[in-house]
Structure 1
Amino acid sequence: MIEALAGPGARGVEDLTASDLLALARDRKAAEDRASADLLVVAARWADLHPPESIHSAATFAVPGCEHEEPIAGDGAPLVAEFCLAELGAVLGVSTTAAKKLVGHALELRHRLPRLWAQTQAGRVPAWRARSVAEVTIHTSPALTREAAAFVDAQVAAVAGRIGPAQLDRLVAETIKRFHLADVDPAADPEDGYLHVDPRHATIHDDDVHYAGTMRLEAELDIADALDLDRALAHGAETLKALGSDMSLDARRSAALGDLARTQTALDLAGSGADPQHLPAAREVVLHAHFNASFDGLATVFGPTGRMEEGQRLVLLDQISGWCSDSRTKVTVKPVIDLNADLSTPAYGVPDRIREQVILRDRTCVFPWCTRPARGCDVDHVDEYDHAAEAEGRPQPGPTGTSNLAALCRFHHRLKTHTAWRYEMTEPGTFEWTSPHGHRYRRDRHGTTAIDPLDPPGIPQPRRP
């Protein structure tokens, strides 16, 4: 039941007329927009309270495939202590990375896009639209100077933020040319100036896995590359049909793209008479799939679905069977590890078998809301290992055993080491975290739960400019 109207004689939604429902919808949407704008104010003020200190570096974004990092907001926005963002994200129920984006957008808007910030706080531009502009101006390459960002701000504010992605890309490209931020060919057609911002990309949306075990690929290609790829996919689809495939054309084109990813050699040798059994392995991609197994005395019986570590998604048994049927696929079956056994060693270093048990038990980094796969995490001693305990004849307070080990990504491992965040393992695979401000969270294999009581009423609202 949704209480539609507050106060004496309040009615439920089912008692409202069509006009009442429209009024309620408008009211709730306005409240949602106001709350989103207020959250940007809170995020900016949180940043003000947490400038970088001697022990903390400034918060940045890692750039995939590069050695450098990008600031969370552009030139002219203040720096923010990297560790403070974890607590903000935790109370919002989002990852540290998502909190980093929120604060970066708030600072970008307040300091480099002030007109758009004012319109957002006045309710004329929705926060989501303003944040989409900030995301572009933060990560534009080459980076926008303060003056260039101000030019973008003026243009976007003039249309009250009503600008689409393509228009915004053109505006940024024009800004880059106008402020001489990149070398531009003077003979180039001015109408084609937007091409100086290279739009090419190939993005695998690994956070959007379909229940059927498929994943979406989005790409922007050079025209010649796109046409070549189209011809290759058409040829691959026809080849699969000739080999007896009864899949649809779209499915065959998708499978042909997978073949391209696996090996160009296979395409070159198709029809050359080479025996597929003797082709070299096309690739080495390590996937970790887990299926429950039970024994009836004769055979192992698997359920129809299992869990794929990569992406923390379900995977169909039929898909695994298809992958394994390829003669060029190397399949390794590892022995089952009892996740309830308490494995330990007197040494500080974590042996592979104990590490694997922790990885399988925790699945991801065990910090609240973090989703980084455990296989790429550090294995942390929950209670610190005392290297001098044995020499001094004292019991080891932080033994190296699965009852005292947890998977933490490198960032949250550093956060636990250098800040007032603390956690304990209350039972195998279940952790309770306490933040520097006393907020508590329970993290287990099912996710994160806030275990704080609701905040008392009377929290002051952020002042609007």
Structure 2
Amino acid sequence: MIEELEAGAEAGADALGPAALLASIKASRSIENTEAARQLDLAARWADLHPPESIHAAASFTVPGCEHEEPIAGPGTPLVAEFCVAELGTVLGITSVSAKKLIGHALELRHRLPRLWAQVHAGRVPAWRARAVAEATIHSTPALTVEAARFVDTQVAAVAGKIGPAQLDRLVAETIKRFDLAGQDPAADPEDGYLHVDPRHVTIHDQDVHFAGTVRLEAEVDLADGLDLQRALAHGAATQKALGSHESLDARRAKALGDLARTQTALDLHGSGLEARSARTSTTEDGSDLPTAREVVLHAHFDATLSGDTTIFGPTGRLEEGQRLLLLDQLRSWCGDSRTKITVKPVIDLNQPKAGPSYAIPDRIREHVVLRDRVCVFPWCGRPARGCDVDHVTEHDHHADAEARPQPGPTHTDNLAALCRFHHRLKTHTTWHYDMVAPGVFEWTSPHDHRYRHDRTGTTALDPPGPGQGPPRIPSPRR
């Protein structure tokens, strides 16, 4: 029946003339914009239903490279319970991070950008344009006050949201200066990725100097180079701190990048500050208190076949870091560019279950779980399993052995799963529940009885409850 309806719809579309087709797609876009605005409103209402029990439980983003967390929306917006974002994300089929952004944008628009919020719901500004403005005002550094955000709102609303990214950046910078908000530029982490064309570049926007005397740098580099640079900046920032710098982590990372261009001039601090530091640290004359540089480790997986005594690798593989496609030629070029140590590990048979005698998870079992699950097994989460916790699906009973009872939650690969720290805490402190129905196949149930299946192919929604069904269960702590 569905196939017949789809065929009928296609036949009807084919019968339309050019003018009718344009009118139809325009109407479709109007419906899309209306529904996107409605989703923003519903997301804000969902937040209203879930105030945090305390400020420590408020939802927040962990900012890469920073030593603090920031709220999901700007000053003046209500805080939101930390774990409510997960259920909203799963019903929408998006990650918890994307659900945080949706709620944050909705609260930012409703409370700090009310003119733009009204234009969105009047159909004069598409929701995606308004969300781009909200993203800029939420993550401005320094943070925009309520008055500063209202100034941006007034300027953007005057042009019905028709403002490009560059104009928006200039408007935010002008607002920071107009309201005398002292601070620094945000450290913009370049997006990485592998494209079919060569996207590598380094661009220094020296024609657009910020009022603080800084310029923006944009780059796209090889993944290996990017990881090397990340390690070098972390090492440089830590070195400056060890040498007595009291600047913020962001400032030290920015200076470390400049030091790379000037061949590590930060080492001048080592000679000038050594005597002063020796009185308060265990520094030796060789600078043994300085952090040790770390190596970059990549985990690449390639299918291989044996031809006599020769191992033949396939042309394409998978890189765990970012779950990216990896070309064998690309890996060869990385290994040939520097002194690189390559370790070939034996193949792990994922069909052979493994068990440990205690609650602690041995490395061999952890590796099995990482290779089997690949990513966090929560619905639609994509965080790499190698950086996740390994969770006992059924709680491990620490007193079972002492009381001569069977262990309900053994340390066994059939009872272990990779969960990122956020979703591990979600499972522990809320009524979210999951079971492993087959090796590497998990079925989750949300507090409102929505069900999801996660396996190596991704996430599938299972029999969602109807309207008004599935009341929340009483929380019970888990491990």
TM > 0.5: yes
**Structure 2: which 5+ residue stretches go unaligned?**
210-219, 233-258, 264-292, 469-479
* Structure 1 position 177, deviation (Å): 2.2
Match of 1:209 in 2: 194
Match of 1:279 in 2: none
Contact 1:346/1:400 (<8 A) preserved = yes
* Structure 1 position 209, deviation (Å): 2.5
Any idea what the Cα deviations from partners look like across 1:126-181, whole Å, max 9, x if unmatched? 00000000001111111111111111111111111111222222222222222222
1:386 matched to 2:371 = no
Task: State how far apart, in whole Å, the 2-side matches of 1:259 and 1:383 are.
Answer: 37
1:421 aligned to which of 422, 432, 445 = 432
Task: State how far apart, in whole Å, the 2-side matches of 1:351 and 1:357 are.
Answer: 10
Task: State how far apart, in whole Å, the 2-side matches of 1:144 and 1:101 are.
Answer: 18
Match of 2:149 in 1: 149
Any idea what the Cα deviations from partners look like across 1:289-324, whole Å, max 9, x if unmatched? 011223344322221111110110111112223333
Task: State how far apart, in whole Å, the 1-side matches of 2:152 and 2:372 are.
Answer: 49
Contact 1:366/1:407 (<8 A) preserved = yes
1:286 matched to 2:271 = no
Contact 2:228/2:296 (<8 A) preserved = no
Q: TM-score, normalised by structure 2?
A: 0.76
Contact 2:450/2:464 (<8 A) preserved = no
Distance 1:257 1:5, change over 3 A: closer
Q: Identity over aligned residues, as a percent? A: 66
Match of 1:128 in 2: 128
Any idea what the Cα deviations from partners look like across 1:199-247, whole Å, max 9, x if unmatched? 77451x23x43258x776665455799xxxxxxxxxxxxxxxxxxxxxx
1:335 matched to 2:320 = no
**Structure 1: which 5+ residue stretches go unaligned?**
184-196, 226-250, 269-281, 458-465
**Which SS does the other structure have where 1:152 is aligned?**
helix
Match of 1:194 in 2: none
Task: State how far apart, in whole Å, the 1-side matches of 2:199 and 2:186 are.
Answer: 22
1:40 matched to 2:25 = no
Matches within 5 A, 1:111-126: 111-126=111-126
Count of aligned residue pairs for this structure pair:
399
Task: State how far apart, in whole Å, the 1-side matches of 2:19 and 2:135 are.
Answer: 38
Task: State how far apart, in whole Å, the 1-side matches of 2:37 and 2:7 are.
Answer: 24
* Structure 1 position 452, deviation (Å): 2.2
1:408 matched to 2:425 = no
Contact 2:227/2:296 (<8 A) preserved = no
Match of 2:316 in 1: 305
Matches within 5 A, 1:49-448: 49-53=49-53, 57-182=57-182, 198=185, 201=188, 203=190, 205-206=191-192, 208-210=193-195, 219-220=203-204, 222=206, 284-326=295-337, 328-448=339-459
Any idea what the Cα deviations from partners look like across 1:326-348, whole Å, max 9, x if unmatched? 56111111111111111001210
Letter in 2 for 1:60: S
**Which SS does the other structure have where 2:437 is aligned?**
strand
Distance 1:156 1:284, change over 3 A: same
Any idea what the Cα deviations from partners look like across 1:52-94, whole Å, max 9, x if unmatched? 0259700011111111111001111100001000010011111
Contact 2:87/2:446 (<8 A) preserved = yes
Contact 2:55/2:79 (<8 A) preserved = no
Letter in 1 for 2:80: V
**Which SS does the other structure have where 1:442 is aligned?**
strand
Task: State how far apart, in whole Å, the 2-side matches of 1:309 and 1:425 are.
Answer: 23
Q: TM-score, normalised by structure 1?
A: 0.78
* Structure 1 position 406, deviation (Å): 0.4
* Structure 1 position 4, deviation (Å): 9.1
Contact 2:315/2:329 (<8 A) preserved = yes
Letter in 2 for 1:119: Q
**Which SS does the other structure have where 2:107 is aligned?**
helix
